[in-house]
Structure 1
Amino acid sequence: MTKSTAHRPRSRRKLLRATVPAAVAASLVLVPLPGAIAAPSTGAVIAEVYGGGGNSGATLKNDFIELGNPSGAAFGLSGYSVQYLTGTPGASSQWGVTQLTGSIAPGGRYLVAEAAGAGGTVDLPAADASGNLALSGTSGTVALVSGTTPLTCKTAADCAADPRVVDLVGFGTAVVREGSPVTGASNTASVARGSALADTDDNAADLKSGAPTPVNGKGEAPDLPDGGSGSTGPTEPGTVRIHDIQGATRLSPKTGKTISGVPGIVTGVRTYGSKGFWMQDPNPDADPATSEGVFVYTGSATPAVKVGDAVLVTAKVAEYYPNYNGGSQSITELTNPQVTVVSSGNQVPAPVLLDDSNIPAAYTQDAAGGSIDNLPLKPADYALDLYESLEGMNVQVVHVRVVQATDKYNELWVDARNQDRPTRRGGVVYLGYDQPNPGRLMVQSLVPAAEQPFPQLNVGDELEGVTAGPLDYNQFGGYTIAATGLGQVWDSKLQREIADPAKPSQLTIATYNVENLDPSDPDEKFAQLAQGVVTNLRSPDIVTLEEIQDNNGAVNDGTVDASQTVAKFLAAIKAAGGPAYDWRSVDPENGKDGGEPGGNIRQVFLFNPDRVSFTDIAGGGSTTAVDVTGTGKRTSLTASPGRIDPGNEAWNSSRKPLVGQFSFHNKPVFVIANHFNSKGGDQGIDSRFQAPGRSSEVQRIKQATVEQAFVAKLLAADKNARVVSLGDFNDYQFSPALDALTKDDVLRDLVIQLPERERYSYVYQGNSQVLDHILVSPTLKWHDVDYEVVHINSEFAVQASDHDPQVVRIKP
């Protein structure tokens, strides 16, 4: 299966809670060390120390040391260590050492798990480093050290003079400390640094005791009972409000801080996946850039609140990137919450209406490929900034059209902006990198299915009335309405298309991505795909198939033969009333063509021998390059079927083009079946990097260049050669890859001849777009070619494949 922007498997494992990863090799910056601890740390600091893990009364099983990075650059930890010394060291006392690796991201955290006790019930989140230091629950010293050799200092003055010491925390009655030791550590309390990870070199001033709140480099926190730390929740509002936490950029100015008594009204509760609730301040500030809503993350614990509760929350602020490596936006969250319900039945803040009046036409600020995280939000100017300024707030859309059908995870996309470019059948069409259709929003539901089943809707259907709920950001898409109520369904009665009939004199050639087809797939899938070929495509003379897997599918045992897969499909076509197709293909090398591991996907030619003949020419193979021989009417392939330059590095871990020579009415036709490399690894159009990177494009340009040269060689041998190149190119008609493929006009992309509102074969994140193409050589003139995309899958909740097939009718 291929996706138009970064394609990833959509498994529904527990969602990863991720801030910037602890190790980002490309951005490691070693921060200069202070000469001694007498100079406050400007890079990494010790953010929290807990020595009560597993002791009597403790909830957590392990001791831990948490590091933080208040700077704007990553802090590399290779060659560093954290070290521990007893509170009152004697002559034989020695520093214990835990070595560190990786780095701490700007504003990020880094969790070091230490020794476990016999008690406790809750595990730490996955640690970034682990050791076996047994910290005292009440008194001791922890140091962050440049080096892994144990320190030898045992007084505050000697340690201050050691240039290897980056930061040091003495707690309880510790002899070794900065300034005065911080007090209050116990079996149930850690000592943690306060606002902005400030370091004044006075432990008593910089750190305070409180409930342990460990957070790792991914932003994960432990799943504590009752959605909190087990401590008593706040009883009085603090001075910080949600808009102070959210700030006027995408990143909270209070990341890493524990904030006491944040007030709000619960607007939505999520009891599945990453559980938690949204709350909103009913008393907003005057700044439209600062959101009044925030998500309170309770991990696997079901929140003990309901919509309309007025709550006070004490929690640590974190930035969660649902897909950091994919370039996702971040979500500002409150983690490790202690929650007090003050009252119930309160009116929730009125939702903000999203429509033509306030969704800007411009999509995002441009940072020349850099991050927009720290740019001041301009919600009146840019759609992504508007959505970020409303993150976590109650929003609504009214009378919206569905632009991507309900998927198996009960998600769909709507468009709230009427000015976005419509398709002929109710979607919105993607016509350029600068035309992303800013009104697209995903819709999920917080309402239990027993109360309101999620509707199974197709493109063009509508949600009438109000659909409302907190505005979230989804790791598989963009900004998402987590709906507490859905509008009424209006059914557009969308029908699957049937291709126009061909004339007897026309050769019909189609392409169809059948989405990882193998014999273990249900008979129903084979029947639906066969129906598409026979009824909707009208049994074309030639069909090129993409994503035909080997005989045992994803079983990775070296099997590459796909004869059973093809035979089962041909039988399904025959059962659907279609012709007795013959077929040709070339088995790939095991594991060399990408796709699902073990599946060995490949392209296959089907052809109707009653209408067209295949010119078999021996010599083709998985590693043998096909060539061109002869000139003029004697031009021929050296192997048919064959593969185009399979040893070229352009095809590494990707499908090689399959070329075959056919004869129709005694005229040769050269057909190339394609499946270029996927867009996996590309940053989404809603990325925090703008303009987003398209790393996968580099390989597709190389692939297009190789194929263009092959077609040019065919045309050099016979300028009137009839060439049809088709398949899943995994790129757009306006992309550099398609520009490379059509260079010097050796091929013409037929999708360009369609009206703009019909240019799509796939729907992703609400955008109807082109991934599949049919291209023809110059001898096939416009008036000799009838072309259409046959919409039978991409717009429907029930799909046989995620791609729409295409067909061309030509007069050779």
Structure 2
Amino acid sequence: MSSTARRRVALLSALSVGLTALTVPAAVAAPSPDVLVAEVYGGGGNSGATLMSDFVELANAGAAPVELAGWSVQYLPASASASSTWQVTPLTGAVAPGGRYLVAEAKGAGGTVELPAPEATGAIPMSATGGTVALVTTTAPLTCKTAADCGADTRVRDLVGYGGSTVVREVAPTAAPSNTTSAARVALTDTDNNAADFAVGAPTPTNAAGETPGGGGAAPTPAKIHEIQGTTRLSPLDGEKVTAVTGVVTAVRRFGSARGFWFQDTAPDADPATSEGLFVFTGSTTPAVAVGDAVSVTGTVDEFYPDASPATSVQQSTTELTSATWTVTSSGNPIPAAEVLGPDTVPAAYTPSPGASIEPLALDPAAYALDFYESREGMLVRVDDARVVGATSDFNEVWITSKPDQNRSARGGTVYTGYDQQNSGRLQVLSLIPFAERPFPQANVGDTLAGATAGPVDFSRFGGYVVQATELGELVSGGLRPEVTRAERANELSVATYNVENLSAADPQAKFDRLATAIVENLATPDILSLEEIQDNTGPTNDGVVAADQTLRRFTDAISAAGGPRYEWRQIDPVDGKDGGQPGGNIRVALLFNPDRVSFVDRPGGGATTAVQAVRGRFPFQAKLSVSPGRIEPANEAWNASRKPLVGEFTFRGRPVFVIANHFNSKGGDQPLSGRNQPPTRGSETQRLAQAALVNDFVKSVLAIDPLANVVALGDFNDFQFSPAIARLTDGGALRTLIDTLPETERYSYVFEGNSQVLDHITTSPFILRPDYDVVHINAEFADQASDHDPQVVRFQPTSIPWPAK
């Protein structure tokens, strides 16, 4: 199946491991010993189709030629009525052993590509999505209308019901094809179960001469796996049909929508750049092979891009065989030994950086990690006693490292310290082991998968190379515990930030209670709290509601019930649908404060479209806000489809404090670290640079009035401490980034693809002296999370002049 036609998600297969096979009734007739219906396509000439005609392809699985004169291919609509009749296309000639026989049917108005020269031609207008095709040993129309009746008709040599609504079929119909996909037999075997025997994919009509659409006249090319893989990321045989590809099956994916098997050549070449492993894609059909089977495979080479077409994808591709058939030549063979990835096996340098696509570059597996993994694509690798650097996700995926000392954090993670420090030891692990046999380990950062974790190398839809594990190490806890910060002292003001991940009044009480417990027990009830991702009262329901009072009331009630103070809040409802985030949710930032410790200076007039200004008070060097709370330049295009910063004016022990809650635009749309373009383009950065400039300008406007002002700008800035956006935020010394006061390997608040990294920040103005800063790790490193972000807190003694607030 071509990469442009197929959209599959290999990761979703991990969600299907607990499913059990359906029990099906016995086949309705004896399987054909020789000629079979190999492929059925009814979308020819339809909208979106490339091929101009429908077709049926036959194949001979027997050892002798079969004469077809007097036989026919017949078609019945999916939901046959009493008046439905079988339509007939007579056949002539013979089909050779192992050969193909192409029957062309009706031509449509669309499409651009002719079929190869057929052996027989009919005019049946087949449905693209469902129907029944029969291979019949006579030209007389069939009369059967049920599976049982057709199964009892001895003239029916093979019967294929394709599409879910089809009632005349062998046991169960195939998955539903479409205008751009056909139903093709996975192997030249017949179990009399159409669902098991056929997979849906791009149509691949082939005639007796081995010709393919568009005039491709060559027979399949014999090839070795390393010849298919080649010495770059793209196969030199992409799009070509190959045959006699031999190897031993090393792994089978038996669940999900991306089933298939990996096989590996036991006679490798001497080139370290060419992989000896390959994946055979069989769609939703489980392949009839077992680990240790020696196979000879015929199929079409395809570079599969998991996220888009080859023209638009930002990910790397996987070289694989599609529309494949194979012969098992022997079973029970030993499989090749998995290559052990030790601390020094994978290069430390991550990738070549040509400033464009790395796909055409010759692989250099001794120099670059991405080249190393690509040169092992489809091959067995093993990591022993692997340390976990990215906790198990909801999709049953975990990140490990083969380099345990690479930028290691004190808590066992791998810290992302710069754009050129991608941490080459990181490797994702998924499982090919059915859940009923081995539940996926629920691991935290710092845990160990003791023993061997092994399987073939694959590439993930979401980025990064993957071990599709056939063997999983035993989970050994690293003893990681959520952190607890200290409480502020009486003369200290504590200010915290926490991204609460799309919190709305529609959420279950358990989420509120867990977040509230963290505020009280782990964050020690900070005086002021910036909250990011507060949604409106109805959450993702897109109903025009923008108010969030119910969301905030439930949260503050939960904090009080957990033993915390009775927080008050200030926020500004956004214009419906203008602040980005989850559609319908109207996320915004909000400020909570403990009125027993601090006072909020309310100045009316602030609304969703009103810009707050720093203005002079009655006294020299007295700065105050024009409105409080207020939003920084909310009409500026820098905030399009993004959250607007919320500024609040507080007093603590008579001293004014200005707090700016932020949630900059996300990194969505940036190219991935492991993608085809290197270095990756950070397209979202342009908007964050503009946002950072506006916040920086606002802080400078406050400091221009009061150089000693206490300003705290904090929140989810969605960028790294070494990024241009954070440099722009702190430009001119208006703010300093407190994450930089920590040791380098403690600078993280978020874990993504096994990299412990910084997205959340607290920044302070220059005359906030001796701030005591803490990232409180309670979420990002754990499989069980209340949010995907860790909160942060700063404690300090305000030093500004205690001006009267009004």
The two structures share one fold, judged by TM-score above 0.5: yes
* Structure 2 residue 457 is matched with structure 1 residue 501: no
1:570 is aligned to 556
* Structure 2 Cα separation of the partners of residues 291 and 717 of structure 1: 65
1:751 is aligned to 739
**Pick from 743, 747, 751: which aligns with 1:763?**
751
**Pick from 332, 351, 367: which aligns with 2:338?**
351
**Pick from 264, 277, 280: which aligns with 1:296?**
280
Shift in Å, 1:323: 2.0
1:222/1:299 contact within 8 Å kept: no
1:263 is aligned to 246
* CA deviations over 1:434-459 (Å, ceiling 9, x no partner): 00000000011111111111111110
* Structure 2 Cα separation of the partners of residues 579 and 10 of structure 1: 46
1:473 is aligned to 459
1:144/1:167 contact within 8 Å kept: no
1:562 to 1:701, Cα distance in 2 relative to 1, 3 A: same
1:503 to 1:227, Cα distance in 2 relative to 1, 3 A: farther
1:74 is aligned to none
1:600 is aligned to 586
* Structure 1 Cα separation of the partners of residues 199 and 731 of structure 2: 63
* CA deviations over 1:563-607 (Å, ceiling 9, x no partner): 111111111111111000011100001000000000000111110
1:666 is aligned to 654
Shift in Å, 1:143: 13
2:328 is aligned to 341
2:790 is aligned to 804
* Structure 1 Cα separation of the partners of residues 54 and 557 of structure 2: 63
**Pick from 307, 314, 335: which aligns with 1:323?**
307
**Pick from 261, 269, 278: which aligns with 1:277?**
261
SS at match of 1:629: strand
* Structure 2 Cα separation of the partners of residues 682 and 579 of structure 1: 41
**Pick from 698, 703, 707: which aligns with 2:691?**
703
**Pick from 708, 717, 732: which aligns with 1:720?**
708
Shift in Å, 1:271: 1.8
1:309 is aligned to 293
1:91 is aligned to none
1:223 to 1:513, Cα distance in 2 relative to 1, 3 A: farther
Write out aligned runs for 1:227-626 (5 A).
239-273=222-256, 274-324=258-308, 325=312, 327-368=314-355, 370-626=356-612
1:222 to 1:641, Cα distance in 2 relative to 1, 3 A: farther
Which stretches in structure 1 are left out of the alignment for 5+ residues?
1-8, 16-55, 66-96, 101-109, 123-133, 149-164, 175-185, 189-215
* CA deviations over 1:379-428 (Å, ceiling 9, x no partner): 00000000000001011001111001111111110010134110110000
Shift in Å, 1:648: 0.2
2:10/2:460 contact within 8 Å kept: no
Shift in Å, 1:551: 0.6
1:339 to 1:512, Cα distance in 2 relative to 1, 3 A: same
Shift in Å, 1:309: 1.3
* Structure 2 Cα separation of the partners of residues 540 and 532 of structure 1: 11
1:371/1:688 contact within 8 Å kept: yes
The letter of the residue matching 1:310 is A
**Pick from 772, 779, 793: which aligns with 1:793?**
779
2:215 is aligned to none
* Structure 1 Cα separation of the partners of residues 468 and 254 of structure 2: 12
2:53/2:115 contact within 8 Å kept: no
The letter of the residue matching 2:326 is V
* Structure 1 Cα separation of the partners of residues 9 and 549 of structure 2: 29
1:678 to 1:524, Cα distance in 2 relative to 1, 3 A: same
The letter of the residue matching 1:651 is W
* CA deviations over 1:321-367 (Å, ceiling 9, x no partner): 11245611100011011122222211111001112232101100111
The letter of the residue matching 1:662 is F
1:401 to 1:14, Cα distance in 2 relative to 1, 3 A: closer
The letter of the residue matching 2:350 is Y
1:640/1:659 contact within 8 Å kept: yes
Per mean C-alpha deviation after superposition, the further-off stretch among 217-226 and 306-315 is 217-226
1:399 to 1:628, Cα distance in 2 relative to 1, 3 A: same
1:628/1:637 contact within 8 Å kept: yes
2:10/2:461 contact within 8 Å kept: no
1:751/1:774 contact within 8 Å kept: yes
* Structure 1 Cα separation of the partners of residues 347 and 734 of structure 2: 40
2:764 is aligned to 776
* Structure 2 Cα separation of the partners of residues 221 and 382 of structure 1: 40
* CA deviations over 1:513-535 (Å, ceiling 9, x no partner): 00001122222211111111000
Write out aligned runs for 1:635-646 (5 A).
635-646=623-634
* Structure 2 residue 613 is matched with structure 1 residue 634: no
* Structure 1 Cα separation of the partners of residues 661 and 396 of structure 2: 34
* Structure 2 residue 102 is matched with structure 1 residue 119: no
The CA RMSD measured in Å over matched residues stands at 3.4
2:54/2:106 contact within 8 Å kept: no
1:75 is aligned to none
Shift in Å, 1:57: 7.6
1:521 to 1:319, Cα distance in 2 relative to 1, 3 A: same
* Structure 1 Cα separation of the partners of residues 610 and 324 of structure 2: 62
Number of aligned positions between the proteins? 655
Shift in Å, 1:680: 0.4
SS at match of 1:531: helix
1:23 is aligned to none
1:689 is aligned to 677
Shift in Å, 1:239: 3.5
SS at match of 1:455: coil
* Structure 2 Cα separation of the partners of residues 57 and 63 of structure 1: 18
Write out aligned runs for 1:68-83 (5 A).
none
1:526 to 1:114, Cα distance in 2 relative to 1, 3 A: farther
* Structure 1 Cα separation of the partners of residues 665 and 591 of structure 2: 19
* Structure 1 Cα separation of the partners of residues 495 and 10 of structure 2: 35
Which stretches in structure 2 are left out of the alignment for 5+ residues?
1-7, 15-34, 57-73, 79-88, 92-101, 122-132, 136-176, 186-193, 207-219, 799-806
Shift in Å, 1:810: 1.0
* Structure 2 Cα separation of the partners of residues 796 and 62 of structure 1: 48
SS at match of 1:429: coil
1:60/1:121 contact within 8 Å kept: no
Per mean C-alpha deviation after superposition, the further-off stretch among 299-308 and 760-769 is 299-308
Per mean C-alpha deviation after superposition, the further-off stretch among 455-464 and 322-331 is 322-331
1:305 to 1:115, Cα distance in 2 relative to 1, 3 A: closer
SS at match of 2:520: helix
2:616/2:705 contact within 8 Å kept: yes
SS at match of 2:50: strand
Shift in Å, 1:13: 6.2
Shift in Å, 1:112: 3.8
Shift in Å, 1:489: 2.0
1:447 to 1:433, Cα distance in 2 relative to 1, 3 A: same
* Structure 1 Cα separation of the partners of residues 768 and 254 of structure 2: 58
1:439 to 1:227, Cα distance in 2 relative to 1, 3 A: farther
The normalised TM-score by structure 1 is: 0.75
* Structure 1 Cα separation of the partners of residues 697 and 523 of structure 2: 31
1:383 to 1:638, Cα distance in 2 relative to 1, 3 A: same
Per mean C-alpha deviation after superposition, the further-off stretch among 573-582 and 411-420 is 411-420
The letter of the residue matching 1:528 is R
The normalised TM-score by structure 2 is: 0.76
